[in-house]
Structure 1
Amino acid sequence: MLLECVEQETGPAPAWTVLWLHGLGADGNDFAPIVPELVRRHWPALRFVFPHAPVRPVTINGGMRMRAWYDIVGMDFATRAEAEGVEESVRQVEALLAREAERGTPPSRILLAGFSQGGAIALAAGLRRREPLAGLVALSTYLPGGAAVAAQRHPNAVAQPVFFAHGDSDPVIPVQYGQASAQMLERVGFEVEWHRYPMAHQVCAQEIADLGDWLDRRLAA
Protein backbone atom coordinates (compact mmCIF):
# COMPACT_ATOMS: atom_id res chain seq x y z
CA MET A 1 0.00 0.00 0.00
CA LEU A 2 1.37 3.39 -1.01
CA LEU A 3 2.13 5.99 1.64
CA GLU A 4 -0.26 8.93 1.85
CA CYS A 5 1.22 12.08 0.35
CA VAL A 6 0.72 15.82 0.10
CA GLU A 7 1.13 16.93 -3.52
CA GLN A 8 1.66 20.27 -5.23
CA GLU A 9 1.98 20.92 -8.96
CA THR A 10 3.57 24.14 -10.19
CA GLY A 11 1.85 23.96 -13.58
CA PRO A 12 -0.29 21.73 -15.80
CA ALA A 13 1.02 18.34 -16.97
CA PRO A 14 4.22 18.35 -14.86
CA ALA A 15 7.15 16.71 -16.63
CA TRP A 16 9.35 16.45 -13.51
CA THR A 17 8.81 15.17 -9.96
CA VAL A 18 10.51 16.09 -6.69
CA LEU A 19 9.88 13.42 -4.03
CA TRP A 20 10.70 15.05 -0.66
CA LEU A 21 10.97 13.12 2.65
CA HIS A 22 10.39 14.92 5.98
CA GLY A 23 12.30 14.55 9.24
CA LEU A 24 11.53 12.71 12.47
CA GLY A 25 8.19 13.58 14.05
CA ALA A 26 7.06 15.82 11.19
CA ASP A 27 4.83 14.87 8.25
CA GLY A 28 4.44 15.57 4.55
CA ASN A 29 3.13 19.07 5.22
CA ASP A 30 6.43 20.14 6.78
CA PHE A 31 8.26 21.14 3.58
CA ALA A 32 5.27 22.02 1.40
CA PRO A 33 5.66 25.77 2.19
CA ILE A 34 9.17 25.73 0.68
CA VAL A 35 7.81 25.24 -2.85
CA PRO A 36 7.05 28.92 -3.67
CA GLU A 37 10.40 29.97 -2.16
CA LEU A 38 12.34 27.43 -4.19
CA VAL A 39 10.64 27.33 -7.60
CA ARG A 40 11.76 29.71 -10.36
CA ARG A 41 9.56 31.12 -13.09
CA HIS A 42 11.46 29.64 -16.04
CA TRP A 43 11.40 26.07 -14.69
CA PRO A 44 9.19 23.45 -16.33
CA ALA A 45 6.10 22.33 -14.43
CA LEU A 46 7.03 20.22 -11.40
CA ARG A 47 5.07 17.82 -9.22
CA PHE A 48 6.19 17.92 -5.58
CA VAL A 49 5.31 14.79 -3.62
CA PHE A 50 5.65 14.93 0.18
CA PRO A 51 4.84 11.52 1.72
CA HIS A 52 3.93 10.94 5.37
CA ALA A 53 6.24 8.47 7.13
CA PRO A 54 4.55 5.65 9.07
CA VAL A 55 3.91 6.10 12.80
CA ARG A 56 6.21 3.91 14.91
CA PRO A 57 7.77 3.86 18.39
CA VAL A 58 11.17 5.59 18.56
CA THR A 59 13.53 4.09 21.12
CA ILE A 60 15.66 7.21 21.63
CA ASN A 61 12.50 9.16 22.51
CA GLY A 62 11.41 6.73 25.20
CA GLY A 63 9.40 4.58 22.82
CA MET A 64 7.03 7.43 21.97
CA ARG A 65 5.07 6.79 18.77
CA MET A 66 5.61 9.36 16.02
CA ARG A 67 6.11 9.59 12.29
CA ALA A 68 9.53 8.13 11.58
CA TRP A 69 11.28 6.51 8.63
CA TYR A 70 13.09 4.13 11.01
CA ASP A 71 13.63 3.58 14.72
CA ILE A 72 16.62 5.39 16.27
CA VAL A 73 18.11 2.89 18.70
CA GLY A 74 21.09 4.84 20.11
CA MET A 75 23.49 7.74 19.80
CA ASP A 76 26.23 5.98 17.80
CA PHE A 77 25.84 7.14 14.20
CA ALA A 78 27.31 3.91 12.84
CA THR A 79 24.49 1.82 14.32
CA ARG A 80 21.71 4.22 15.36
CA ALA A 81 19.41 3.58 12.36
CA GLU A 82 17.41 0.38 12.78
CA ALA A 83 18.21 -1.57 9.60
CA GLU A 84 14.77 -3.16 9.17
CA GLY A 85 13.08 0.24 9.27
CA VAL A 86 15.53 1.65 6.72
CA GLU A 87 14.82 -1.30 4.40
CA GLU A 88 11.05 -0.86 4.77
CA SER A 89 11.25 2.87 4.03
CA VAL A 90 13.48 2.33 0.99
CA ARG A 91 10.85 -0.09 -0.37
CA GLN A 92 8.10 2.49 0.25
CA VAL A 93 10.12 5.17 -1.55
CA GLU A 94 10.70 2.80 -4.47
CA ALA A 95 6.94 2.22 -4.69
CA LEU A 96 6.37 6.00 -4.91
CA LEU A 97 9.07 6.30 -7.59
CA ALA A 98 7.37 3.50 -9.54
CA ARG A 99 4.05 5.36 -9.33
CA GLU A 100 5.69 8.45 -10.82
CA ALA A 101 6.95 6.33 -13.72
CA GLU A 102 3.37 5.06 -14.20
CA ARG A 103 2.21 8.70 -14.26
CA GLY A 104 4.65 9.39 -17.09
CA THR A 105 7.71 10.72 -15.25
CA PRO A 106 10.79 8.52 -15.85
CA PRO A 107 13.57 8.22 -13.26
CA SER A 108 15.73 10.62 -15.29
CA ARG A 109 13.22 13.40 -14.44
CA ILE A 110 12.74 12.58 -10.76
CA LEU A 111 14.70 14.16 -7.90
CA LEU A 112 14.74 12.50 -4.48
CA ALA A 113 15.18 14.88 -1.54
CA GLY A 114 15.07 14.57 2.23
CA PHE A 115 15.74 16.38 5.49
CA SER A 116 17.36 14.67 8.51
CA GLN A 117 15.83 11.16 8.77
CA GLY A 118 14.21 11.71 5.37
CA GLY A 119 17.59 12.61 3.91
CA ALA A 120 19.09 9.42 5.31
CA ILE A 121 16.43 7.41 3.48
CA ALA A 122 16.93 9.45 0.29
CA LEU A 123 20.62 8.55 0.35
CA ALA A 124 20.00 4.89 1.24
CA ALA A 125 17.49 4.56 -1.63
CA GLY A 126 19.64 6.52 -4.06
CA LEU A 127 22.69 4.31 -3.53
CA ARG A 128 20.70 1.27 -4.71
CA ARG A 129 19.25 2.75 -7.87
CA ARG A 130 19.82 0.67 -10.99
CA GLU A 131 18.06 3.39 -12.98
CA PRO A 132 19.63 6.67 -11.88
CA LEU A 133 17.42 9.53 -10.79
CA ALA A 134 18.05 13.12 -11.89
CA GLY A 135 19.65 13.83 -8.52
CA LEU A 136 19.64 13.39 -4.74
CA VAL A 137 19.19 16.15 -2.15
CA ALA A 138 20.49 15.46 1.38
CA LEU A 139 19.74 18.19 3.94
CA SER A 140 21.08 18.06 7.52
CA THR A 141 21.57 14.32 7.33
CA TYR A 142 24.00 11.41 7.11
CA LEU A 143 24.34 8.07 5.33
CA PRO A 144 23.01 5.24 7.56
CA GLY A 145 25.54 2.42 7.67
CA GLY A 146 28.37 4.70 6.61
CA ALA A 147 31.30 3.56 4.50
CA ALA A 148 30.15 -0.07 4.30
CA VAL A 149 26.88 0.99 2.66
CA ALA A 150 28.64 3.49 0.37
CA ALA A 151 30.99 0.75 -0.84
CA GLN A 152 28.01 -1.45 -1.74
CA ARG A 153 26.34 1.18 -3.96
CA HIS A 154 24.95 0.02 -7.29
CA PRO A 155 27.43 0.86 -10.08
CA ASN A 156 24.76 2.87 -11.93
CA ALA A 157 23.90 4.94 -8.85
CA VAL A 158 26.98 7.17 -9.12
CA ALA A 159 25.43 8.87 -12.18
CA GLN A 160 23.18 10.75 -9.71
CA PRO A 161 24.56 14.15 -8.64
CA VAL A 162 24.11 14.95 -4.95
CA PHE A 163 23.35 18.26 -3.22
CA PHE A 164 24.49 17.89 0.40
CA ALA A 165 23.93 20.70 2.93
CA HIS A 166 24.36 21.00 6.70
CA GLY A 167 24.35 23.52 9.53
CA ASP A 168 27.69 23.95 11.28
CA SER A 169 26.01 24.19 14.72
CA ASP A 170 23.56 21.30 14.24
CA PRO A 171 22.94 19.72 17.70
CA VAL A 172 20.92 16.79 16.31
CA ILE A 173 23.26 15.51 13.59
CA PRO A 174 26.65 17.19 14.12
CA VAL A 175 28.12 18.61 10.93
CA GLN A 176 31.10 16.25 10.96
CA TYR A 177 28.77 13.30 10.33
CA GLY A 178 27.19 15.01 7.35
CA GLN A 179 30.57 16.00 5.94
CA ALA A 180 31.97 12.50 6.45
CA SER A 181 28.98 11.04 4.57
CA ALA A 182 29.48 13.50 1.71
CA GLN A 183 33.15 12.51 1.50
CA MET A 184 32.23 8.79 1.52
CA LEU A 185 29.95 9.36 -1.46
CA GLU A 186 32.68 11.24 -3.32
CA ARG A 187 35.17 8.44 -2.67
CA VAL A 188 32.89 5.86 -4.33
CA GLY A 189 32.30 8.03 -7.39
CA PHE A 190 29.40 10.41 -6.74
CA GLU A 191 29.52 14.05 -7.81
CA VAL A 192 28.73 15.86 -4.55
CA GLU A 193 28.10 19.57 -4.08
CA TRP A 194 28.71 20.25 -0.37
CA HIS A 195 27.37 23.32 1.46
CA ARG A 196 27.79 24.35 5.09
CA TYR A 197 25.75 27.13 6.71
CA PRO A 198 25.82 29.04 10.03
CA MET A 199 22.65 27.41 11.38
CA ALA A 200 21.37 24.59 13.61
CA HIS A 201 19.14 21.62 12.55
CA GLN A 202 17.04 23.60 10.08
CA VAL A 203 16.90 25.08 6.59
CA CYS A 204 17.97 28.66 5.81
CA ALA A 205 17.28 31.13 2.98
CA GLN A 206 20.78 30.87 1.48
CA GLU A 207 20.45 27.08 1.42
CA ILE A 208 17.17 27.33 -0.51
CA ALA A 209 18.84 29.74 -2.98
CA ASP A 210 21.83 27.40 -3.45
CA LEU A 211 19.53 24.41 -3.88
CA GLY A 212 17.59 26.41 -6.47
CA ASP A 213 20.81 27.04 -8.41
CA TRP A 214 21.66 23.33 -8.29
CA LEU A 215 18.15 22.35 -9.41
CA ASP A 216 18.38 24.91 -12.22
CA ARG A 217 21.31 22.93 -13.65
CA ARG A 218 19.54 19.60 -13.24
CA LEU A 219 16.38 20.82 -14.96
CA ALA A 220 18.38 22.38 -17.79
CA ALA A 221 20.24 19.10 -18.36
Structure 2
Amino acid sequence: MLQSPVFQRFRKVLIGFSQGGYLSYRMTTEYPDVFDMAVLLSPSFKGETADTIPAGRTRFALCYGSDDRTIPIADQQCAREQLGSTGRCTYFEYPGMAHNICDQEIADVRAWLGL
Protein backbone atom coordinates (compact mmCIF):
# COMPACT_ATOMS: atom_id res chain seq x y z
CA MET A 1 0.00 0.00 0.00
CA LEU A 2 2.83 2.42 0.84
CA GLN A 3 4.24 1.91 -2.65
CA SER A 4 0.92 2.72 -4.30
CA PRO A 5 1.00 5.81 -6.55
CA VAL A 6 -1.91 7.19 -4.51
CA PHE A 7 0.36 7.52 -1.46
CA GLN A 8 3.60 8.57 -3.17
CA ARG A 9 2.97 12.28 -2.64
CA PHE A 10 2.42 11.88 1.12
CA ARG A 11 5.07 11.72 3.82
CA LYS A 12 5.23 8.40 5.63
CA VAL A 13 5.39 9.12 9.37
CA LEU A 14 5.38 6.63 12.23
CA ILE A 15 4.25 7.76 15.67
CA GLY A 16 4.25 5.55 18.73
CA PHE A 17 4.19 5.81 22.52
CA SER A 18 6.10 3.40 24.80
CA GLN A 19 6.01 -0.06 23.17
CA GLY A 20 4.50 1.58 20.08
CA GLY A 21 7.51 3.91 19.96
CA TYR A 22 9.82 0.93 20.03
CA LEU A 23 7.77 -0.81 17.32
CA SER A 24 8.03 2.34 15.18
CA TYR A 25 11.80 2.33 15.67
CA ARG A 26 12.05 -1.36 14.71
CA MET A 27 10.00 -0.74 11.57
CA THR A 28 12.60 1.83 10.48
CA THR A 29 15.35 -0.75 10.95
CA GLU A 30 13.46 -3.33 8.89
CA TYR A 31 12.38 -0.88 6.19
CA PRO A 32 15.05 1.85 6.14
CA ASP A 33 13.93 3.50 2.91
CA VAL A 34 10.17 3.57 3.49
CA PHE A 35 9.55 6.09 6.27
CA ASP A 36 10.31 9.80 6.17
CA MET A 37 9.93 10.46 9.90
CA ALA A 38 9.37 8.60 13.14
CA VAL A 39 8.14 10.13 16.40
CA LEU A 40 9.24 7.95 19.31
CA LEU A 41 7.42 8.93 22.50
CA SER A 42 9.01 7.33 25.59
CA PRO A 43 10.15 4.17 23.80
CA SER A 44 11.83 1.23 25.42
CA PHE A 45 15.27 0.67 23.93
CA LYS A 46 16.64 -2.30 25.81
CA GLY A 47 19.28 -4.33 24.03
CA GLU A 48 19.74 -2.05 21.05
CA THR A 49 23.30 -1.79 19.75
CA ALA A 50 25.20 0.03 17.03
CA ASP A 51 24.40 -2.73 14.54
CA THR A 52 20.67 -2.07 14.92
CA ILE A 53 20.87 1.64 14.12
CA PRO A 54 18.60 2.28 11.17
CA ALA A 55 20.22 3.16 7.89
CA GLY A 56 18.23 5.14 5.38
CA ARG A 57 16.76 8.60 5.50
CA THR A 58 14.24 8.48 8.36
CA ARG A 59 14.39 11.49 10.68
CA PHE A 60 13.60 10.84 14.33
CA ALA A 61 11.99 12.82 17.13
CA LEU A 62 12.83 11.17 20.45
CA CYS A 63 10.82 12.32 23.48
CA TYR A 64 11.08 11.46 27.17
CA GLY A 65 9.85 12.94 30.43
CA SER A 66 12.62 13.75 32.92
CA ASP A 67 10.77 11.73 35.58
CA ASP A 68 10.04 8.68 33.41
CA ARG A 69 11.05 5.66 35.49
CA THR A 70 8.96 3.16 33.52
CA ILE A 71 11.70 3.18 30.90
CA PRO A 72 15.04 2.75 32.71
CA ILE A 73 17.45 5.68 32.44
CA ALA A 74 20.03 3.39 30.78
CA ASP A 75 17.53 2.56 28.01
CA GLN A 76 16.73 6.25 27.52
CA GLN A 77 20.43 7.09 27.26
CA CYS A 78 20.97 4.23 24.82
CA ALA A 79 18.16 5.53 22.61
CA ARG A 80 19.55 9.04 22.67
CA GLU A 81 23.09 7.91 21.88
CA GLN A 82 22.18 5.40 19.18
CA LEU A 83 19.69 7.62 17.37
CA GLY A 84 21.83 10.71 17.94
CA SER A 85 24.68 9.00 16.12
CA THR A 86 22.59 8.95 12.95
CA GLY A 87 22.64 12.74 12.71
CA ARG A 88 18.90 12.51 12.03
CA CYS A 89 17.48 12.76 15.55
CA THR A 90 15.95 15.65 17.45
CA TYR A 91 15.69 15.07 21.18
CA PHE A 92 12.97 16.53 23.41
CA GLU A 93 12.84 16.23 27.19
CA TYR A 94 9.99 17.37 29.41
CA PRO A 95 10.80 18.43 32.99
CA GLY A 96 8.67 16.78 35.65
CA MET A 97 6.86 14.48 33.21
CA ALA A 98 6.69 10.76 33.99
CA HIS A 99 5.78 8.04 31.46
CA ASN A 100 3.02 9.90 29.65
CA ILE A 101 2.40 12.68 27.12
CA CYS A 102 1.96 16.39 27.83
CA ASP A 103 0.52 19.32 25.88
CA GLN A 104 3.99 20.80 25.26
CA GLU A 105 5.16 17.52 23.77
CA ILE A 106 2.22 17.50 21.36
CA ALA A 107 2.99 21.11 20.37
CA ASP A 108 6.68 20.26 19.86
CA VAL A 109 5.88 17.22 17.72
CA ARG A 110 3.44 19.23 15.63
CA ALA A 111 6.11 21.90 15.03
CA TRP A 112 8.76 19.28 14.28
CA LEU A 113 6.44 17.66 11.74
CA GLY A 114 5.81 21.07 10.19
CA LEU A 115 2.07 21.06 10.87
TM surpasses 0.5: yes
Structure number, greater radius of gyration:
1
TM-score by length of 2: 0.83
When structure 1 is superposed on structure 2, of 102-111 and 114-123 the one drifting more is: 102-111
Residue 169 of structure 1 is matched in structure 2 by 67
Residue 212 of structure 1 is matched in structure 2 by 110
Report the residue type matching 1:212 in the other structure: R
Contact 1:139 1:165 in 2 (8 A): yes
Distance 1:199 1:130, change over 3 A: closer
Distance 1:141 1:154, change over 3 A: closer
2:45 paired with 1:143 = yes
Residue 126 of structure 1 is matched in structure 2 by 28
Task: Report 1:82-121 matches (<5 A).
Answer: 99-102=1-4, 104-106=6-8, 109-121=11-23
Choose the corresponding residue for 1:191, options 71, 88, 91. Answer: 88
Report the residue type matching 2:11 in the other structure: R
Contact 1:167 1:175 in 2 (8 A): no
Structure 1 moving runs of 4+ over 3 Å: 100-103, 152-155
Distance 2:5 2:91 in 1: 32
Q: CA RMSD in A?
A: 2.3
Give the number of aligned pairs.
Answer: 114
Segments of structure 2 that go 5 or more residues without pairing to the other structure are none
Residue 20 of structure 1 is matched in structure 2 by none
Segments of structure 1 that go 5 or more residues without pairing to the other structure are 1-98
Distance 2:87 2:26 in 1: 14
2:50 paired with 1:182 = no
Q: Which has the higher contact order (CA 8 A, sep 6+)?
A: 2
TM-score by length of 1: 0.46
Contact 1:101 1:107 in 2 (8 A): no
